[in-house]
Homo-oligomer: A and B are copies of this chain.
Amino acid sequence: MFRCNCVETEYALRVVDEKVVAAAVPSSRTKVAVVGASGYIGEELVRLLLAHPHVDLVAATSRQFAGKTLADVFPRFSHNEILQAGVRVVDLSADFRIKDATVYKEFYGNDHPAPELLSDAVYGLPEIYRDQIRDAKLVACPGCYPTSILIPLRPLIRRKAIDRKRILVTSLSGVTGAGRKAEADYLFAECNESMRPYGVPKHRHLAEIEQELSLLAGEKIVIQFTPHLVPLNRGILTTIYAELAGDVVAVDPALVFQNAYGQEPFVRLLGDERLPDTKNVAGTNFIDIAWKIDKRTSRLIVMSAIDNIVKGASGQAIQCFNLMRGFPEAAGLI
């Protein structure tokens, strides 16, 4: 079962009809129903599911349920009932990414709607939690920014190759990242020929980014993160600055990345000669990663590019779904 909403909680609350649901019943070809696939993430999920070799998309609803909750439409799918009914869930919303209900409230402003489920949720980043995802009842798919940041940082954190106290991240996002909100800020003529930072200095995705980095490090990690909105539809480009100093272990980033991701189906390592470009990952589930060591500053600069709607959302959800169902991990994604 897939459940989908948008980056911002305010929006999610307004468009509860935008949930995307796929009821996964155990069969060789999984029957899937999609509820409210009218956002960009939902639309892409439908596109991918229609081409998925092991999925039958048996129903898709959209505007007719506008204003209704998932529970209104499918009463047996209200929050708690879903898991009680034995359905395994891939959740594309932000609801179950944060393990601590207090942090959730700090970043999202409201009490968590179902705190008793938080401990069940597995963070849906296959490159980190592949084994847990296989057996998870509830997978909380990461946000688009966290995907572009956590995959590059994970092996560097684990290998203690960078100073964990001085990580800075700049990200650029295409406008689909704002969802299909009818707000003046996202009109064509407001975004075209415009570049702007936003969510400075405490964007909501920081909560899950720092949670996951801290788990990887075994200690509390705080980072700097600045997202920017730029005029294109698809993509996130992330530039990470890390220091090669202090207690850092001297390692070759190429080796670190190769060891970590040489076998990953959707991670492409560009090395230290090429640089990423979002157009090369548009419409795909790949993350492209490049790096440069700056000897002048003793810093490691790591750059990544993803399609925010595919690897940053719907594609990653299907990757998790494939793991949960025992399908080839790349099924329907190439």
Residues of A at under 8 Å CB distance from B?
A: 40, 51, 166, 168, 170, 172, 174-176, 180-184, 186-198, 200-202, 222-224, 226, 228, 230-235, 237, 239, 241, 275-279, 282-283, 292-294, 296-297, 299, 301, 303, 305, 334
The contact of A189 among B176, B196, B292, by CB within 8 Å, is: B176
Given A172-B172, A193-B282, A294-B224: A301 and B188 within 8 A (CB)?
no
The contact of A234 among B174, B184, B193, B224, by CB within 8 Å, is: B193
Given A168-B241, A228-B237, A231-B232: A276 and B187 within 8 A (CB)?
no
Whether the Cβ atoms of A175 and B196 lie closer than 8 Å is: no
**Would you mind naming 23 contact pairs between A and B with Cβ atoms under 8 Å apart?**
A170-B170, A170-B226, A172-B172, A172-B228, A174-B189, A174-B195, A175-B188, A181-B187, A186-B189, A187-B188, A189-B233, A192-B231, A193-B193, A194-B232, A195-B237, A195-B277, A196-B237, A196-B275, A200-B292, A201-B299, A222-B297, A230-B230, A231-B231
Q: Which residues of B contact A166 (CB under 8 A)?
A: 166
Chain copies in complex: 4
Q: Kindly state the separation between the CA atoms of A183 and B181 in the bound complex, as whole angstroms.
A: 9
Whether the Cβ atoms of A193 and B40 lie closer than 8 Å is: no
